[in-house]
Amino acid sequence: VVLVTSGPTREALDPIRFLTNASSGRMGFALAQRARMLGARVIVVSGPTTLKPSAGVRVEFVTTGLEMFKRVMALRVKADVVIGAAAVSDWRFENRSPLKLKRGPGRLRLTMLPNPDIIKAVATGRPPGRRQIVVGFALETHEQLAHARKKLVAKGLDAIVVNGPAALTDKRSQAVILRRDGSTRALPETSKAALAAAIFREVETLW
Ligand code: C5P
């Protein structure tokens, strides 16, 4: 089983407003399609997206980071490979107003609480006696490799796919794959389908 997190998350402030990001969900769905082509059973836990998953891929839609966390923690026990391609909100609003917030004369102060790091929880809590490869993504604007290496170690991942902010919305992506053993593989700018294929080639060598 290949488990993929995908897309953005939404953190509600009131019934109308939410915090989200520009993630399209394309990378996650491309990974799912590739895993399917390789013959795996595939489950995608996806935030809101208008994309249509390819045939044979099971998609479970969630909205918030906490919902994604709960679904992934429930599904991860049966996964051989877990790939975190979702752009999860690092924070959620401490208080979600049940009523639409009204304009006031003064400033509005909002408090946010940290969301759990989903891929870190998966990588550091692997089921005992079961082989499981865990891969994350890192979106970095500068010092890409150094920052990504820190994330790879801090989250306990087997590999991390590094790319720039254009990757969030673009159809194409330029990436470097860093492995836990320190080796790196720089990929030319390619489609997300080709990047997904390259990621699974790495996963196979990690297995
Ligand atoms: O720390 P950063 O958000 O840059 O790490 C990105 C990686 O961590 C991605 O694989 C993303 O899916 C994952 N992540 C997560 N849960 C979070 C934040 C990030 O799984 N709350």
Q: Which atom of ligand 1 is nearest to the CA of 65?
A: 21
> Which residue has a Cα nearest atom 21 of ligand 1?
117
Counting ligand 1 atoms within 8 A of each CB, the residue from 88, 89, 112, 115 with the most, and so the one to mutate, is 88
pLDDT the model gives residue 171: 78
> Which residue has a Cα nearest atom 4 of ligand 1?
138
In degrees, rounded to 5, the angle at the alpha carbon of residue 192 between the alpha carbons of residues 87 and 174 is: 85
Per-residue pLDDT, averaged over 144-168, amounts to: 93
If pLDDT is split at 50, 70 and 90, which confidence band does 113 have?
very high
For residues 146 and 152, what is the distance between their CA atoms, to the nearest angstrom? 10
Counting ligand 1 atoms within 8 A of each CB, the residue from 118, 135, 168 with the most, and so the one to mutate, is 118
The token pair that represents 189 in the structure block: 């700018």
Q: What is the pLDDT of residues 48-104, one digit of tens each?
A: 999 999 999 999 999 999 999 999 999 999 999 999 999 999 999 999 999 999 998
If pLDDT is split at 50, 70 and 90, which confidence band does 165 have?
confident
Q: Are 79 and 118 in contact (CB under 8 A)?
A: no
